[in-house]
Amino acid sequence: MADVIVDIREVYKSFGHTDILKGVSLTVSEGENLVIFGKSGTGKSVLLKCLVGLLTPDAGDIMVWGKRVTDLKPGELNALRLHMGFLFQSAALYDSMSVRENLEFPLRKNYNFTEGEMTAKVERALDMVSLSDAIDKMPSELSGGMRKRIGLARSIITEPKLMMYDEPTTGLDPITTKEISKLIRDLQVELKMTAIAVTHDLICATIIADRSIVLKDGVILFEGKMDQLVQDTDPFLVNFFSPDFIEEETGI
């Protein structure tokens, strides 16, 4: 059995008087692709941000490779982050830098590569996302799908072992959604990454998920394989994954 590399135990998080996460526990094993579903505002992105130390949970433990994220000093947290990648919903490309500079930035700041090595890495990452021609473009010149791909290339350029995707296909057309999802799947196989993806998108999840969980009202409502999830008769899940609408209170 593969090693557990992410272990989240009873995590609580609230903003002001609004409770977002109410005791979420889950594990992710090495090489696994976990997809987290849930309505907007249920804390999916918050959970990811707690995992990388951008947010601090109010209670509970988050262990990554056996290290408690909340206990790490800034230097130790950054050392851990060197093995993680994060694709933001908006791709979060640096507006003032070209595509090449965006991709070189984490390499320049964290490693001692020569210019030649960096160029080779940038070209390889862009080749993986099929955007070699965009190397000298500015982010403002890219379409939504291209921005996502470049964001993905920037995230994988450091060859992370654990990758997190925050709504990787939101706002994209179905064909681009499939392309990006397939790309995520291929990268996971090629780079042997473990991945956690937050999404609303059934197409994306069907392509990339080994296992899925559904968050509702700050707790995990469902955990299992995708085929089990889409066949579940829980009114909330039926509403989420099928064209039918069921009144959740009555189940009709």
* Contact residues: another protein, CB under 8 A: 49, 52, 54, 74, 78-79, 81-82, 84, 86, 88-90, 92-95, 105-106, 109-110, 158
Which CB, 89 or 176, lies closer to another protein? 89
Which CB, 95 or 249, lies closer to another protein? 95
Are 169 and 201 in contact, with CB atoms under 8 Å apart? yes
Q: What is the largest CA-CA distance in the chain?
A: 64
What residue ranges in the chain does DSSP mark as E strands?
4-15, 18-29, 33-38, 59-64, 67-68, 84-87, 162-166, 194-198, 211-216, 219-224
CB 79 to another protein: min, Å = 7
Strand partners, 213: 36, 223
Burial classification of residue 152, based on how many CB atoms lie within 10 Å of its CB (0-12 exposed, 13-18 middle, 19 or more buried): buried
CB 151 to another protein: min, Å = 8
Residue labelled with tokens 């001692």: 112
Which CB, 126 or 207, lies closer to another protein? 126
Which CB, 56 or 110, lies closer to another protein? 110
CB 16 to another protein: min, Å = 13
Are 224 and 211 in contact, with CB atoms under 8 Å apart? yes
Which CB, 147 or 237, lies closer to another protein? 147
Q: Cα 175 from chain centroid?
A: 20
- Which amino acid is residue 120, in one-letter code? A
Which CB, 64 or 226, lies closer to another protein? 64
Q: Cα 219 from chain centroid?
A: 19
CB 84 to another protein: min, Å = 7
Which CB, 13 or 49, lies closer to another protein? 49
- What lies within 8 Å, CB to CB, of 53 at 6+ separation is 69, 70, 72, 77, 80, 81
CB 226 to another protein: min, Å = 27
- What lies within 8 Å, CB to CB, of 165 at 6+ separation is 87, 184, 195, 196, 197, 198, 199
CB 81 to another protein: min, Å = 4
CB 199 to another protein: min, Å = 17
Closest CA to 38 of 20, 55, 65: 20
